[in-house]
Structure 1
């Protein structure tokens, strides 16, 4: 687990920063859904020349649902435990990332951050060449993984995923099967009510276009950070603009989150203010990081 050096935050400071809020969660979720609906309206109103950009915009807002998935998994999006579970499960469906499966995966990531043998995020090694970088970014490995895990769930065997406790496997299997039925049911209903093309332009196409943007975002969180338990060096915080922070529920304050995962999204900016002078891996902008990483890959 990422470890915070002593006295970074006092007990009183951490308690104050860890206050959860149904109101903040509902407002951020409402805004996110409004962005998705607005992008969906643009897709519906698009002509031949504007359809692809509109689908990309819809795909980015859909892929960004990863932020509330992540936040609800930590039970910090809302004060209500049930609200976290319901919102998280539904938000994960469009990307086929089952919420209960992701909970087991992500908790293992927090317990073993940057441990090459135990961190499930390192099952797929960071890109070491331009070809590997492009392969990761186009997101085909992501979709392959999602389909294989669904296959395992329908077979009733999650033993290929060692981070899933045996006692949790039956519940996760049921959840993944229910998600499959739900997603296919929604796709079928949209075909009946709108047309055969509806899942293609409102879901499948946008997801294929939007997930690469999310891959770019997520690649910055730990790549080139230390492979040890030092929470100040094994995770990166990236400074970015207000629009990205809004869409991604302040996930760019990633070191702060790893040091203190009890702090909810709406308090991470305050946590950043308290911790910034101690952060060892602070990046100014996502595109700057990727430009530097690509230069490094080209030199290797």
Structure 2
């Protein structure tokens, strides 16, 4: 049901129709306006969009994804080639290589929503490759992530909260190290490959695919290891394994900002954080710093999220100006909890 115009202010900024400000309203009308604003959640915003706006915002295209993949993936290939060639000072390239590879996670995330590209097979193929590189089988991750969307920040049902967020400095350092991620995903793949998946978010009809993909991943990892040992090559170690190990803390730090310290409520504009950051971070993260926007309307492709942000910006409840500021607040909260 679309709310009537007399109850819900229009959310279309492009037509310059905005909520009244305190300068425009008498006290009684201002109180009503503020009450209306407090009731606006992501559902209200989606319901208020015109059919034309919905069509434009959810339009899938191949070109933006291909262009971004060409740059992101091209940088990985170039840095990998320079590391393999052992150019002077090549070790300094390991960290940027690792950051670029682990941030394929954000591309994987976009492909499982099938919004990275318009062409379905492109989404599936890129999901498989990126998932393989970061030890995250897309078949399993798709079910995990969609359960996260259905139960965002719900302590009882959100699978992302099965492992609690860090609440002490020790937990924080361990989380950022990436050790829990690598050990956890290795365990998931082995359990799934053994046919023992019992995750509640994986439907019975999907278990065979989850199991099969885990087995293929293990076979491929084993073949690469065997080939490297057979030819006594450390190539994959330095262009892939070591880089993702040193790059993972940067992805962990980025991901913490999405929901940590957010209230456990149903409103996606409040239980999820949008972080204002640089163009470079937005590029490498495939616009996922617009995370409240993504959760509010998951059908919006990455290349349309900046436009959707313009529509919802004044209604965002949880935002932060940069990742450094977020982490200062997070670490500061450890002291308050301890006290």
Give 1:168 shift: 0.5
Give 1:190 shift: 5.1
Establish whether residue 172 from structure 1 lines up as the match of residue 219 from structure 2. Answer: no
SS of alignment partner, residue 44 of structure 2: coil
What's the CA shift string for 1:166-196, capped at 9, x where partnerless? 1111111101111222233344445556x42
Give 1:84 shift: 0.6
| Alignment match, 1:66 | 105
- Map 1:116-127 → 2, pairs under 5 A: 116-127=155-166
Between the aligned partners of 1:158 and 1:244, the Cα distance in structure 2 is: 35
SS of alignment partner, residue 275 of structure 2: strand
SS of alignment partner, residue 251 of structure 1: coil
Between the aligned partners of 1:105 and 1:20, the Cα distance in structure 2 is: 23
- Contact 1:46 1:54 (8 Å CA) reproduced: no
Which ranges in structure 1 are unaligned for 5 or more consecutive residues? none
Give 1:59 shift: 0.7
| Alignment match, 1:140 | 179
Establish whether residue 16 from structure 1 lines up as the match of residue 56 from structure 2. Answer: yes
| Alignment match, 1:198 | 235
Larger radius of gyration: 2
Give 1:38 shift: 2.2
Higher relative contact order at CA 8 Å, sep ≥6: structure 1 or structure 2?
A: 1
| Alignment match, 1:267 | 304
- Cα 1:271–1:187 change in 2 (3 A) is farther
- Contact 1:231 1:255 (8 Å CA) reproduced: yes
Residue 325 of structure 2 is aligned with which of 288, 295, 298? 288
Residue 267 of structure 2 is aligned with which of 207, 221, 230? 230
Establish whether residue 84 from structure 1 lines up as the match of residue 123 from structure 2. Answer: yes
- Cα 1:99–1:107 change in 2 (3 A) is same
| Alignment match, 2:170 | 131
Establish whether residue 276 from structure 1 lines up as the match of residue 316 from structure 2. Answer: no
Report the TM-score, using the length of structure 2 for normalisation: 0.83
| Alignment match, 1:37 | 77
Give 1:50 shift: 4.5
Residue 5 of structure 1 is aligned with which of 39, 44, 49? 44
- Cα 1:8–1:56 change in 2 (3 A) is farther
Give 1:37 shift: 1.3
Between the aligned partners of 1:110 and 1:3, the Cα distance in structure 2 is: 13
Which ranges in structure 2 are unaligned for 5 or more consecutive residues? 1-40
- Contact 2:190 2:214 (8 Å CA) reproduced: no
User: Alignment length, in residue pairs?
Assistant: 296
Report the TM-score, using the length of structure 1 for normalisation: 0.93
What's the CA shift string for 1:112-153, capped at 9, x where partnerless? 001111100000111111111111110100011111111112
